Structure 1
Amino acid sequence: MPFTRPRVLYVTDLAYEARGRRYCDEDIFLTSRLREDFDLALCHPRDAAALLDAFDAVVVRNSGPVLGYRAAYDAFRERAAERGTRVYNQLTGRADMAGKQYLLDLTEAGYPVIPTVGRAEDLHRLPAADQYVVKPKLGADSTGLRFVPADRVRATVRADAGDVLVQPRVDFAHEISFYFVDHDFQYALYAPHPERRWRLEPYDATPEDLDFARRFVEWNGVDHGIQRVDACRAPGGELLLVELEDLNPYLSLDALDEAGRDSFVTALRAALRRLLEA
């Protein structure tokens, strides 16, 4: 009997443990809803490359930092490119999908981002601060992130020889995350208490807020995918980019009401159908 519905391979690591979040709950919910429209199977990211041929599209969701399975991830990307696999998110992202270099590029281009440098010789270009954030260029999920006093930051950067980024530690009011499906804004959440990053509440984004977030989505040029724009509210009231997550952003769907979750699922279904028809 021929297949009558699109076959989707959903890549996730249900055993991945994230601080303050339960990734597996989100994927259990999403796959339960997507099965209404698609024939769907789940697999671990290490198995994705070997399974591509049996599916019409691949959805990469809460698969954890690729640092833990770099060779398997590279093999997946190579195999998907060879056979022209439809991947969601599409694999052309210029932000976290490709590492943290984009923070340097956006700083250099004058975008509203937390000022970032990658060399000890450039530290003078950063605003003066008591502490600096030092993080790996290929880091994810706060892995390897350090707070370094001003009197030690130069030696720290030199010791890491170009493998890290440096930012001033910003005394921000709160963090806000903006969530997009393809280029369509879906919802915003914020952490009113900075010390509790993942205690999120709905946020009523202003037109100015959305203009800020859309600027980075447009810069990234990902036509098919979910993107999360993470920003902080600086002391002067302006928003600054913290991160542009374009690989497998956690969605914090548990912070939405039922109507909000339904709306997101509807948008994702439509996006996957657009990908399959492309």
Structure 2
Amino acid sequence: MNTILFVTDLYYPAKGRKYYKEDLFLTSQLRESFALTICHPKDIHAFEHHADLIVIRNAGPVANFKDEYLSFRERAAANRYNIYNSLDGKGDMNGKDYLPELAKAGYPVIPTIDDVQWLEILPEAEAYISKPKDGADSIGLERISRKDLASKLSASVDRSILIQPFIDFEYEVSFYFIDHEFQYALYAPDKEKRWRLAEYVPTAEDLKFANRFIEWNNLAWGIQRVDACRTKQGELLLVELEDLNPYLSLLELRPDVRQRFVEQFRRSLQTALQA
């Protein structure tokens, strides 16, 4: 039986989410097929040599264990560890540099800049959002005025800050994929309650939107979550592409949808083990 090191922070205090419940459910399902060890992200080094596959799940924001994460990635490359998600993604697993890059390339993304020279591409808005590239869960998020944009960007000499216009959207919606296959979608009908989710039935256009980012990322294997917002004009704009350890809201799903996801996840893990 193959061994899996399942990396999670069961005690991370995620707003509106219970990491431990989701990961305890997942590990209970996977034990039928794999020998599992659960560890905290700061303890990977103590167990990594004994695992056939290292699965990074609800480990929380990388900013909370940045040194350990960077060191782990160096060891993973040097020792050719088998990692799930594969570490060839271009989304959040490498920070949020991809957002201004996609915006400049014309993708349907919330307008995003990280350099004062690009100020002119930001649309007029009643307010703007500043956030760190390695942030998550609204860590470091600030609301600022247009007159403060230049000074905020100039103060970030290492270009570690992103600036976006404040979007008065209708709702947020997330599309969940395993490898390159769509699994389900959820949305927050009440935008003030981001994690009170309901099933969302995507249109063909919605899936075309989400698949565009999955194809761009070209992840070898893993779970990806495409987060978007629906504007007042009906357009979908990318908020983020979570390709390291996306929370799945599995326990919010109908039992049949959840079980299909688990079976597809198990098959994907087997594929990664054979790589």
TM-score, normalised on structure 2?
Answer: 0.97
CA contact (8 A) 2:125 2:165 kept: yes
CA RMSD of aligned residues (A): 1.1
Q: Which runs of 5+ in 1 are unaligned?
A: none
User: Match for residue 118 of structure 1?
Assistant: 114
User: Match for residue 217 of structure 1?
Assistant: 214
For residues 197-217 of structure 1, the C-alpha deviation after alignment (integer angstroms, 9 at most, x for no partner) is 111100001111011101101
Q: Give the 5 Å matches for 1:259-270.
A: 259-270=256-267
* 1:227 lines up with 2:196 in the alignment: no
**Which residue of the other structure, out of 172, 177, 180, is the alignment partner of 1:175?**
172
**CA deviation after TM superposition for structure 1 residue 151, in Å:** 2.8
* 1:83 lines up with 2:99 in the alignment: no
User: Match for residue 236 of structure 1?
Assistant: 233
CA contact (8 A) 2:62 2:134 kept: no
For residues 16-64 of structure 1, the C-alpha deviation after alignment (integer angstroms, 9 at most, x for no partner) is 1111111111000000000011011101111112311111111000001
Q: Distance in 2 between matches of 1:142 and 1:237?
A: 25
User: Match for residue 187 of structure 2?
Assistant: 190
Q: Distance in 2 between matches of 1:206 and 1:265?
A: 24
User: Match for residue 277 of structure 1?
Assistant: 274
Q: Give the 5 Å matches for 1:88-107.
A: 88-107=84-103
User: Match for residue 15 of structure 1?
Assistant: 11
Q: Which runs of 5+ in 2 are unaligned?
A: none
Q: Distance in 1 between matches of 2:118 and 2:57?
A: 36
Secondary structure at the aligned position of 1:97 is classed as: coil
* 1:205 lines up with 2:217 in the alignment: no
User: Match for residue 55 of structure 1?
Assistant: 51
**CA deviation after TM superposition for structure 1 residue 183, in Å:** 0.6
4+ runs deviating over 3 angstroms: none
CA contact (8 A) 1:49 1:75 kept: no
Q: Distance in 2 between matches of 1:45 and 1:119?
A: 32
CA contact (8 A) 1:52 1:80 kept: no
**CA deviation after TM superposition for structure 1 residue 271, in Å:** 0.2
Q: Distance in 2 between matches of 1:147 and 1:264?
A: 37
**CA deviation after TM superposition for structure 1 residue 66, in Å:** 1.4
* 1:45 lines up with 2:41 in the alignment: yes
CA contact (8 A) 1:49 1:80 kept: no
Aligned partner letter, 1:193: D
TM-score, normalised on structure 1?
Answer: 0.96
Aligned partner letter, 2:67: A
CA contact (8 A) 2:2 2:35 kept: yes
For residues 242-262 of structure 1, the C-alpha deviation after alignment (integer angstroms, 9 at most, x for no partner) is 000001000011220111111
Aligned partner letter, 1:130: E
**Which residue of the other structure, out of 133, 148, 153, is the alignment partner of 1:152?**
148
Q: Distance in 2 between matches of 1:43 and 1:55?
A: 12
Q: Distance in 2 between matches of 1:247 and 1:92?
A: 10
Q: Distance in 2 between matches of 1:256 and 1:52?
A: 32
Secondary structure at the aligned position of 2:47 is classed as: helix
**CA deviation after TM superposition for structure 1 residue 149, in Å:** 2.0
Aligned partner letter, 1:61: R
For residues 45-97 of structure 1, the C-alpha deviation after alignment (integer angstroms, 9 at most, x for no partner) is 11112311111111000001111111211121122212211110011111100
**CA deviation after TM superposition for structure 1 residue 181, in Å:** 0.5
